Chain A
Amino acid sequence: MTIEFTLSNRQRDLQAGVRSLAQSIVRPQSLRWDREHAIDEDFLRNLARMATSMGHGGLGTSASLMRQEEEAPAAEKKPKSQNLTTVLASEEMAWGDAALLLCVPGPGLGGPPVRASGTPEQKKRFFGIFDDLTVLKWGAYALTEPTAGSDVAGIRTSCRKDGKNWVINGRKCFITNGARASWNVVFATVDPALGRAGHRAFVVEKGTPGFSVGRIEDKMGLRASETAELVFEDCRVPADNLLGGEEKYVTKEGFMTAMKTFDNTRPIVASMAIGIGRAAYEYARDFVKDHYVLSRPIPRYAAIAERLARVGRGLAAARMVTWRAAWLADEGIENAKEASMAKAMAGQAAIRACIDAIEICGAEGSIQTDHALLEKWFRDIKVYDIFEGTGQIQRIVISKRLISNLKSF
């Protein structure tokens, strides 16, 4: 092995395929989805079918791939570069429309914890529902609460054992696909005083008595994606739905389940941010080509050139750090620090890209029209420095791995 940056043929084909889909089919509908707060079901059905055939399911690995992985002998497990490949495809798709990636049917963010901690029966049960691609189904991940966002250890949603069931009480908020999900991975605590050791993860199925959907959020951006509040009032969940079974929770395992999810998803979210940032960057670059008479440079030209280049290199830097985080995961090397670096850098670089792109294009950049998506990207990108761990949380993750004996601040 040496230092190299050449994509495999498979990766190049996938990248080109997703790029052409994003350009010819996704982008033209992007603004309409944003206005309608939804993506056509037929379109999602086709996309789900395609994603499965490509072995790529937007956020994380598709359900069928997770199943295959479970059933295949160890030697035949997923191709070695799965994380990097997913990162490449996510950037292209987000370049077309970022909300779409959050709407792709499948286990979504709920997939990784089930995969990491579920028993074989649980994996079969919860991933099995996605086998029929003609029916749109989602999984979701419910962690955040009104009073516990970044401070995940501080969740208050309670759970107690009652015979063969667990009884859950509390509220979850900002849950992507939470309302339409067939099941949510829900984190609750047996006793807040126990901290992380008290955490339990459940798969709560739609229609479970005591489980209901609260408000659907009205957001700055990513408006085609559903963000829901979930309410649990004496919600009775069968003991079989405790993720991993009871013996798994002798230690801090519950919390670690919540956190493990992020080492793999943060580089993907980072690459989505880079996709949006690149879209804005390319838009501004093309605007400059079209609107400035380059043979007659005016003082503003050099200033714009520098601004464009700063945006371009910021994205290039974030992309390299993101590739590295994904590559480490593919190599089976611990990457918590690098995954957080990717997420922190990409979020900021892409926000910078969207802000500067509008500035470069002037008033025109702020106006919503069907072929000018700058104002939409500006609205979409902000949350990339917030969800999956804010920029500040990423810095906590990073600094704990830089500074000796730093347990908490």
Chain B
Amino acid sequence: MVAFRPSEDETMMRDEVVSFAKTLRTDARAFEKARAVSEETRRAAHGMGLGSLAIPAAAGGAGLGLVTQALVEEAIAYGDPAAAFGLAGGASFVRAVLELGSEEDAAKILSRYTAEDGFKRFGAVAWGERKPNPERAGFSTIATGGKITGQKSFVVNASRAETFVVFAQVDETQGWDGIAAFVVDADAPGVTVSPRAATLGLEIADVADVKFEDAPATKLGDGSAFTEKTIRFFAKTGLIMAARAVGLAQAAFDVTRDYCDGRKAFGKPIGHFQAVAFNLADRAMDVDAARSLVWRAAEAWDRGAPEKEALLYSAHAVSFALEAAMRCGDDAVQLHGGSGFMRDYPVEKFMRDAKQLQLCVMTAEQADQLAAAIEVGQPLSIGAILPTPETQTTLV
């Protein structure tokens, strides 16, 4: 059957998050200034179980699928796209543990995040590096003898993470096939976090570099099917970013639509001019199409559709939704005119957040390369389709 309607449970959950997200919109500027979501809000979100939707019941989570997660993430981002990055846990971190670790790993690592004081805890994924290795393909960060050495960049939640999932080279002769994932405690010896970066948007995200010098590391998972699992990690986390992009796009659209109703020029509301109305119509199509693509990809994963199918739908969702959000943010400022440029209105933030979101986890370009590789039957390799220092870096 084909249906575009969330179930009753999903609708109830979403409605609850929508009303919570109204407070996020109110507080968005305060969070931005503080570069963090308040403890009170994190506590409320944690109480609603928002950070542990995907975490299996064995680790104290709800064990829900990606459709529910997409609905919830969209609703949060509708309130404040940045706030989604400031709630406890961390979408990338949780997903990395789930996809790359064993069930025991997940139970052991994630149960701290579902505990009562989980609202204080963050995790991070240390994936990116600033420059390509000039000698060979792969990361410059090396893992050997249970220790990691190297510098990772563009790490979301870097300065507040308790735990890192670190990707490092284990076999220097194997290029991108020679990497593995490790778990490193933030307070372990040899771990240094650089000062937080100032970013264009999503200030809440807490982006910094992390330096590892002979830091003790435990391997995450058994390393089997590593490339497939890593691609799945990026596709599913990218899909969550796409769901946030839909929330951002809808928020920017709604605020702008209301503005066009109220703002008058030449004796009538500006929405009554075709140049403005058609622009709104185009953005409405962007939002609706992006949401449908996200739902379709999430449903494919939840249903257990063939891997390539789910990856292809995810790639479509990621590239379309990220670009749609950017168009919605851009046009939101444009239609507000000079006022849109002022921080009195939320749209300039939506626009900055949209650009930043386009650089989170997977870019539209990478999603396009993934889709094309599936369609023309190219092997899916990390070097060709994921964000690497050799291609295009992202915040993970």
Instruction: List the interface of chain A (C-beta within 8 A of B).
Output: 1-8, 81, 84, 285, 288-289, 294, 302, 304-306, 308-310, 312-313, 316-318, 320-321, 323-324, 327-328, 338, 341, 344-345, 392, 394-396, 398-399, 402-406, 409
Contact = CB atoms under 8 A, between A and B. Distances in A.
List of 5 A-B pairs having minimum Cβ-Cβ separation, nearest first: A305-B372, A309-B368, A320-B292, A399-B277, A2-B7
B269 to A, nearest CB: 7
Most chain B Cβ neighbours within 10 Å, of A305, A323, A395: A305
Nearest to A289: B376
Given A338-B288, A398-B285, A409-B273, 5 more contacts: A4-B2, A312-B372, A313-B315, A316-B296, A324-B292
A320 B320 CA distance: 12
B1 interface: yes
Contacts of A324: 4, 288, 292
A103 B340 CA distance: 52
A341 B372 CA distance: 26
A81 B368 contact: no
Nearest to A398: B281
Contacts of A395: 277-278, 281-282
Contacts, number: 161
Nearest to A321: B289
Interface string B281-301: 110110011101101101110
B316 interface: yes
Nearest to B272: A406
Nearest to A306: B368
B369 A302 contact: yes
A403 B269 contact: yes
B266 to A, nearest CB: 13
Contact of B3 (A316, A327, A409): A327
B277 A4 contact: no
Nearest to A314: B320
B319 interface: yes
Given A1-B3, A3-B3, A294-B376, A409 B277 contact: yes
B299 A4 contact: yes
Contacts of A288: 376
A308 B376 contact: yes
B386 to A, nearest CB: 14
B282 A403 contact: no
A312 B257 contact: no
A302 B368 CA distance: 10
B257 to A, nearest CB: 6
B277 A84 contact: no
A327 B2 contact: yes
A332 to B, nearest CB: 13
A288 B377 CA distance: 11
Nearest to B365: A306
A321 B280 CA distance: 17
A202 to B, nearest CB: 33
A199 B378 CA distance: 58
A317 B269 contact: no
Contacts of A327: 2-4
Contact of A403 (B271, B293, B378): B271
Contacts of A404: 261, 269, 271
A3 B368 contact: no
Contacts of B1: 4, 6-8, 81
Contacts of B261: 403-404
Contact of B316 (A2, A312, A398): A312
A350 to B, nearest CB: 14
A321 B292 contact: yes
25 contacts: A3-B295, A5-B300, A6-B1, A7-B2, A81-B1, A288-B376, A289-B376, A306-B365, A306-B368, A309-B372, A313-B368, A316-B293, A317-B290, A320-B292, A320-B293, A344-B281, A395-B281, A396-B277, A398-B281, A399-B280, A402-B277, A403-B261, A403-B280, A406-B271, A409-B273
Nearest to B368: A309
A302 B257 CA distance: 38
B293 A317 contact: yes
Contact of A1 (B5, B300, B371): B5
B373 interface: yes
A320 B291 CA distance: 9
A234 B388 CA distance: 74
Contacts of A313: 293, 315-316, 319-320, 368, 371
A405 to B, nearest CB: 8
B336 to A, nearest CB: 15
A6 B369 contact: no
Contacts of A405: 269
Interface in B1-27: 1-7, 10
A334 B284 CA distance: 17
B372 A308 contact: yes
Contacts of B293: 313, 316-317, 320
B289 A345 contact: yes
A294 B214 CA distance: 40
A398 B367 CA distance: 30
Contacts of A318: 289
B264 interface: no
Nearest to A403: B271
B293 to A, nearest CB: 6
B2 A5 contact: yes
B260 interface: yes
A409 B369 contact: no
Contact of A341 (B284, B295, B377): B284
B243 interface: no
B13 to A, nearest CB: 12
Given A3-B3, A309-B319, A403 B277 contact: yes
Interface string B36-68: 000000000000000000000000000000010
B104 interface: no
B281 A402 contact: yes
A279 B90 CA distance: 42
A409 B277 CA distance: 9
B284 A305 contact: no
B274 interface: yes
Nearest to A297: B384
Given A313-B319, A398-B284, A403-B271, A3 B369 contact: no
A272 to B, nearest CB: 18
Contacts of A289: 376-377
Contacts of B269: 403-405
B121 to A, nearest CB: 31
A338 B289 CA distance: 10
A389 B274 CA distance: 16
B375 interface: yes
Contacts of B308: none
B303 interface: yes
Nearest to A328: B4
Nearest to A88: B2
Interface in B176-198: none
Interface in B253-272: 257, 260-261, 269, 271-272
A289 to B, nearest CB: 5
A60 to B, nearest CB: 20
Contacts of A305: 368-369, 372-373, 376
A314 to B, nearest CB: 8
A304 B368 CA distance: 10
